[in-house]
Amino acid sequence: MGIVTASLSISVDGYVGSADEGQWWPVHERLHQWVFDLRSWRARQGMDGGVDSVSSQIVEDEFANAGAYVMGRDMFDFGEEPWGDDPPFRAPVFVVTHRERETLRRQGGTTFTFVTDGVAAAIERARASAGDRDVRLSGGASVVRQAIAAGLLDELNLHQTPVLLGAGVRLWDDIGPQWREMEPTRAVAGDGVTHLTYRFTRDA
């Protein structure tokens, strides 16, 4: 059976986005600029060319291992138009939302199912769809925080970009007061990014 894993680009001071709508896109580009020229990422968007590197291999592996995705409604609303008819997921996507909507079916095997009864229910449905592959939480921060707080996340991949943002949406807020032990399993330097992976340890 696969694991429940999350991947986010994050600043050194722990921010994964901007809380200021006017700065949303500049902050997004700064946090994610490391990925845009990678061959594996470009191929997934239907584009040619790109750089082959350790970062490209990591992104390729993340796509290959994912059997289903979970995301928040804000991320879906932002991405629906630019993703178009052929989104890059090519797997079932479960959108955590308070607003009902019919399931959307897109090219390449991507479906968007809207789940109104919380993150745990979305992850459960994603697990059933993923089979022996991973369930990947693709954002935003609120969905990942809720999964951490509920003890539902097995692995956290942080793509740390070398910038201090000073303000914005912090990943580490509202995850609860209890300790959660983590085991570092990877630290790899890429071009303009450091890839960090942690496994959550479970009590015996």
Dump pLDDT digits (tens) for 57-80: 999 999 999 999 999 998 898 888
For residues 17 and 59, membership in a common domain is answered with yes
Query: Stretch 111-115: mean pLDDT, rounded?
Result: 97
My answer on whether 61 and 156 are in the same domain is yes
Q: Which of 132, 160, 184 is the last residue of a domain?
A: 132
**Which residue in this structure is represented by tokens 């909507």?**
101
Task: Please report whether residue 139 resides in a domain.
Answer: no
Examine residue 140 and say whether the peptide bond preceding it is cis (omega within 30 degrees of 0). Answer: yes
Indicate if 57 and 78 belong to the same structural domain. Answer: no
Q: Which tens digit of pLDDT belongs to each residue from 138-192?
A: 988 999 999 999 999 999 999 999 999 999 999 999 888 888 899 999 999 999 9
Residue 137 lies in a domain: no
Range of the domain at 33: 1-66+152-204
| 62 & 77 share domain | no
Same structural domain, 174 and 190? yes
Q: Which two tokens stand for residue 201?
A: 């340890």
pLDDT band, very low/low/confident/very high, at 204 (cuts 50, 70, 90): very low
Q: Angle, to 10 degrees, between the axis of helix 119-130 and the axis of helix 141-149?
A: 90
Q: Are residues 60 and 76 in the same domain?
A: no
Helix (H, G, I), strand (E, B) or coil at 8: strand
Q: Is residue 98 included in any domain, yes or no?
A: yes
Q: 115 in a domain, yes or no? A: yes
Bigger pLDDT: 63 vs 82: 63
Is residue 56, in this structure, part of any structural domain at all?
yes
Considering the domain boundaries, does residue 82 fall inside one?
Answer: yes
Contacts of 144 (CB under 8 A, 6+ apart): 6, 8, 137, 153, 156, 171
In a 3-state reduction of DSSP, which class is residue 171? coil
Q: Which pLDDT does position 203 carry in this prediction?
A: 56
Question: Is residue 141 assigned to a domain?
Answer: no
What is the greatest pairwise CA distance in the chain? 48
CA–CA distances in Å: residue 41 to residues 44, 60, 62, 91? 5, 7, 10, 16
What is the value of pTM for the model shown?
A: 0.92
Confirm whether 145 is domain-assigned. Answer: no
Please tell me whether residues 61 and 83 are part of one structural domain: no
- Are 95 and 71 in contact by the 8 Å Cβ rule? The answer is yes
Structure tokens at 73: 């409604």
Contact assessment for residue 18 and residue 24, using Cβ atoms and an 8 Å cutoff: yes
How many domains, in total, are found in the chain? 2
